[in-house]
Chains A and B, each alone.
Chain A
Amino acid sequence: NAGVMQNPRHLVRRRGQEARLRCSPMKGHSHVYWYRQLPEEGLKFMVYLQKENIIDESGMPKERFSAEFPKEGPSILRIQQVVRGDSAAYFCASSPIQQGQGQNTEAFFGQGTRLTVV
């Protein structure tokens, strides 16, 4: 859905560099989710955030990965010291309320950031 904006669309990093992926949710949405997708596979949940709070990071690797959703500005997924195995498409989704509760709770996805580590 064009309403969720992710940038950059493509990102190339050398091993050991840092990658910063940005996500601006749809207007009025305060819930943000990050997913990772390897080629020919489904999306894997990484982290769920609300403004200034990490609600669920059970899918995040313990090291090198971090996420934030500040009071002002986009949500950021940060990967430090990237390795080739980090190469994937990273998708951000947003919803107006927590997924699965109430009406109109589907999450809208951005176009993704395709990270390539060389």
Chain B
Amino acid sequence: GESVGLHLPTLSVQEGDNSIINCAYSNSASDYFIWYKQESGKGPQFIIDIRSNMDKRQGQRVTVLLNKTVKHLSLQIAATQPGDSAVYFCAENNAGNMLTFGGGTRLMVKP
């Protein structure tokens, strides 16, 4: 079936470095993608989204890149801070009614 998956389950970075979290999706019909951050014991928090007619979108300290050719999505976090430590999920929307979530990547920021 269609799925969204991640390459790395855990990413450890030094405070101040840039972080890159990757995600592969398999449904070429997906037209809307979202990155969520989830801290322990909390609900997912929206970070940034991108539509399939774009290949890059920037927010505050975050950038999402979409490569439709290889069905790849990435989240870049600039100057990573301890508060960025969390699990990050990519999600895709293709049926209009629901999001399909990947398995998550745990980001650990070392001081």
Which residues from chain A sit less than 8 Å from chain B, CB to CB? Answer: 1, 4, 6, 33, 35, 40-45, 48, 55-56, 58-59, 91, 98-101, 105-112
Quick one: which of B31, B32, B43, B94 has the most chain A CB within 10 A?
B43
Residues of chain B from 28 to 53 with CB closer than 8 A to chain A in the complex: 31-32, 34, 36, 41-46, 49
**B98 proximal to A (CB < 8 A):** yes
We find that the number of chain B residues with CB closer than 8 angstroms to chain A is: 26
Contact of A106 with B34 in the complex, beta carbons under 8 Å: yes
**B69 proximal to A (CB < 8 A):** no
User: B95 to chain A: which residues have CB within 8 Å?
Assistant: 56
Bound-state CA distance A59–B41 (Å) is: 23
Given A42-B104, A106-B34, are A48 and B43 neighbors across the interface (CB < 8 Å)? no
Question: Which of B31, B89, B97 is in CB contact (< 8 Å) with A98?
Answer: B97
In the complex, what's the smallest C-beta–C-beta distance from A42 to chain B, in angstroms? 4
User: B101 to chain A: which residues have CB within 8 Å?
Assistant: 35, 42-44
CB nearest neighbor in A for B101 = A42
Question: Which of B4, B41, B45 is in CB contact (< 8 Å) with A109?
Answer: B45
Bound-state CA distance A98–B89 (Å) is: 20
Contact of B43 with A106 in the complex, beta carbons under 8 Å: no
**B96 proximal to A (CB < 8 A):** yes
Contact of A100 with B89 in the complex, beta carbons under 8 Å: no
Contact of B97 with A99 in the complex, beta carbons under 8 Å: yes
Contact of A99 with B32 in the complex, beta carbons under 8 Å: yes
Given A42-B89, A100-B31, are A1 and B98 neighbors across the interface (CB < 8 Å)? no
Bound-state CA distance A108–B42 (Å) is: 12
User: A58 to chain B: which residues have CB within 8 Å?
Assistant: 98
CB nearest neighbor in A for B97 = A56
**B81 proximal to A (CB < 8 A):** no
User: A111 to chain B: which residues have CB within 8 Å?
Assistant: 41-43
In the complex, what's the smallest C-beta–C-beta distance from A76 to chain B, in angstroms? 18
CB nearest neighbor in B for A109 = B43
Contact of B99 with A45 in the complex, beta carbons under 8 Å: yes
Contact of A43 with B49 in the complex, beta carbons under 8 Å: no
User: B96 to chain A: which residues have CB within 8 Å?
Assistant: 98-101
